[in-house]
C-alpha cells in the first residue's frame, strides 16, 4: 500500500470545500493498482417546527463509506459502499438505516467504465445522475444539506452513460431508470463548455414513458422532464455557481396524476477559501410551483401552487483527514396548503436548523 500526492481523482466529484488529502494506492495483482478512499462522519442537528416523523434534535451517521476504483487501462471500475444519510432542506431527517434501506442500498454507486479512446468513456451500472449542481452525499458539496431545487432532481440512476470530450466541450448522454424506478425509459444528457475559470453547462432529462411505481427513491417526479442551466466560476479562493432549473410533471391519470404542474427555480452557491484550512460556503435559492388544490394539481413542494426559498451558511475547517463544519439554514414557505408546511400540523411557514458535521475524509 502506498500514499501519494497525485492529481485529484475525477470521482467522486467534490465541489469544495472538502478534499481528499491524499490518494492511497494498493497493488491488487491481476486487477492492477487500485485507489482506495473513505469517509467517516456524523451529524448533529437542532431545528424548529419539525414535521411529523421528525424530532427537534437528531443525530445521524452522514457517511461511513469506502471508495475503491481502478482508474487506468481500457477497462476501469468504481465502487462506493457503506452507510450514508442525505439531509435535505424542508424534509424530515431520516435515520441512516432507513436512508440506506429505502433509497439506494449499501452500494449506492458502482459502475464499470470502458475507455476505448482518450476522450471517450462508457459507464454501465448505478451512476450519479447528470442533473443539477449539487451531488448526493454530504462530503461532496459546499453545504451539509441539499437544497430545495435539488429536492426536485434525481440522485442516482441505473443505466448506461456515454461521455465524449472535444476541445472545450464535454458531452454526456445516458439511458437510465430516472428516479431509481427500475423502469428503463429515461433519457438524460448534458453539454458543458469550459474556458479558463468559466464553465457553462446545460442539462436535460425526461421520461419517455410513464411509471406508476412510487417509493421514497422514486417520487412522482419520475414522470417528469427537467432542464437546468448552470454557470460556474472557479478561480483562486472563489467558487461561484448560479443556476436556473425548470421541470414539468404532466397530467397522467394512468400514473395517478390527475393534474400536472411545473416548477421554476434559481439558486446561487458560493464558496470562499479563507486560508489555514478554513472556508465559508453559502447558498440562496427560491422555487415556485404551478397548479391549485381546487383542480387537484400534483403537489411538488408545500402543496399545489406553493413556493419556497432558503438561505444556508456553512463554515468549514479541514486539517489533513479531519474536518468539522457547522451550518445554519432557514426555509420559508408561501402560498402553501395547510398541512403541507412545517410543524406538527403543517401550518408553520418556516423552519430553522443548526447543524454540525465532523469526521474524517481520507
124: domain CATH number is 2.40.160.10
Quote the DSSP letter at residue 224: -
**According to the model, what pLDDT value does residue 4 have?**
53
Strands 225-235 and 198-207: antiparallel
Range of the domain at 339: 2-361
C-alpha cell, 322: 479531519
Position 3 pLDDT exceeds 80: no
- The average pLDDT across 328-351 equals 97
**According to the model, what pLDDT value does residue 1 have?**
53
* Per-residue pLDDT reduced to its tens digit, 112-164: 999 999 999 999 999 999 999 999 999 999 999 999 999 999 999 999 999 99
The model's pTM? 0.94
**According to the model, what pLDDT value does residue 11 have?**
86
Give the separation between CA 150 and CA 218, rounded to whole angstroms.
Answer: 14
* Per-residue pLDDT reduced to its tens digit, 16-65: 899 998 878 999 888 889 999 999 999 999 999 999 889 999 999 999 99
Give the separation between CA 208 and CA 203, rounded to whole angstroms.
Answer: 16
Contact criterion met (CB below 8 Å) for 134 and 8: no
Contact criterion met (CB below 8 Å) for 321 and 362: yes
Q: How many domains does the chain have?
A: 1
* Per-residue pLDDT reduced to its tens digit, 61-106: 999 999 999 999 999 999 999 999 999 999 999 999 999 999 999 9
Quote the DSSP letter at residue 317: E
Give me the chain's average pLDDT, please.
95
Quote the DSSP letter at residue 180: T
Q: Quick one: which H or E segment has residue 78?
A: strand 75-84
Contact criterion met (CB below 8 Å) for 15 and 320: no
**According to the model, what pLDDT value does residue 31 have?**
87
Look at residues 187, 11, 216 and name the one whose alpha carbon lies nearest to residue 111. Answer: 11
Look at residues 307, 306, 308, 310 and name the one whose alpha carbon lies nearest to residue 337. Answer: 306
C-alpha cell, 181: 424506478
Q: What sign for the dihedral angle of Cα 153, 156, 157, 159? A: positive
Amino acid at each position: 500500500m502506498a500514499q501519494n500526492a497525485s492529481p485529484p481523482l475525477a470521482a467522486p466529484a467534490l465541489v469544495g470545500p472538502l478534499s481528499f488529502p491524499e490518494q492511497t494506492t494498493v497493488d491488487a495483482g491481476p486487477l492492477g493498482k487500485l485507489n482506495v478512499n473513505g469517509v467517516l462522519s456524523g451529524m448533529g442537528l437542532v431545528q424548529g417546527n419539525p414535521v411529523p416523523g421528525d424530532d427537534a434534535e437528531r443525530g445521524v451517521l452522514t457517511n461511513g463509506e469506502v471508495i475503491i476504483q481502478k482508474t487506468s487501462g481500457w477497462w476501469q471500475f468504481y465502487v462506493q459502499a457503506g452507510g450514508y444519510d442525505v439531509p435535505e432542506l424542508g424534509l424530515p431527517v431520516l435515520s441512516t438505516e432507513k436512508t440506506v434501506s429505502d433509497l439506494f442500498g449499501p452500494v449506492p454507486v458502482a459502475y464499470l467504465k470502458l475507455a476505448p479512446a482518450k476522450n471517450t468513456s462508457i459507464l454501465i451500472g448505478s451512476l450519479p445522475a447528470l442533473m443539477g449542481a449539487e451531488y448526493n452525499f454530504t462530503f461532496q458539496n459546499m453545504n451539509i444539506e441539499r437544497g430545495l431545487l435539488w429536492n426536485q432532481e434525481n440522485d442516482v440512476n441505473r443505466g448506461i452513460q456515454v461521455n465524449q470530450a472535444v476541445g472545450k466541450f464535454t458531452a454526456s448522454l445516458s439511458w437510465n431508470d430516472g428516479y431509481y424506478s427500475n423502469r428503463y425509459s429515461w433519457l438524460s444528457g448534458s453539454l458543458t463548455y469550459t474556458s479558463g475559470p468559466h464553465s457553462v453547462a446545460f442539462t436535460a432529462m425526461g421520461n419517455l414513458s410513464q411509471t406508476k411505481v412510487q417509493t421514497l427513491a422514486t417520487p412522482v417526479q419520475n414522470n417528469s422532464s427537467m432542464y437546468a442551466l448552470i454557470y460556474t466560476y472557479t478561480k483562486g479562493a472563489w467558487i461561484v455557481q448560479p443556476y436556473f432549473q425548470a421541470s414539468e410533471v404532466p397530467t397522467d391519470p394512468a400514473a395517478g396524476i390527475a393534474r400536472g404542474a411545473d416548477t421554476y427555480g434559481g439558486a446561487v452557491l458560493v464558496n470562499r477559501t479563507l486560508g489555514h484550512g478554513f472556508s465559508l460556503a453559502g447558498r440562496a435559492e427560491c422555487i415556485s410551483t404551478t397548479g391549485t388544490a381546487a383542480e387537484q394539481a400534483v403537489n411538488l413542494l408545500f402543496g399545489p401552487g406553493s413556493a419556497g426559498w432558503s438561505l444556508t451558511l456553512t463554515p468549514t475547517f479541514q486539517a489533513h483527514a479531519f474536518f468539522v463544519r457547522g451550518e445554519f439554514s432557514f426555509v420559508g414557505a408561501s402560498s402553501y396548503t395547510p398541512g403541507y408546511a412545517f410543524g406538527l400540523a403543517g401550518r408553520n411557514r418556516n423552519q430553522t436548523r443548526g447543524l454540525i458535521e465532523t469526521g474524517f475524509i481520507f
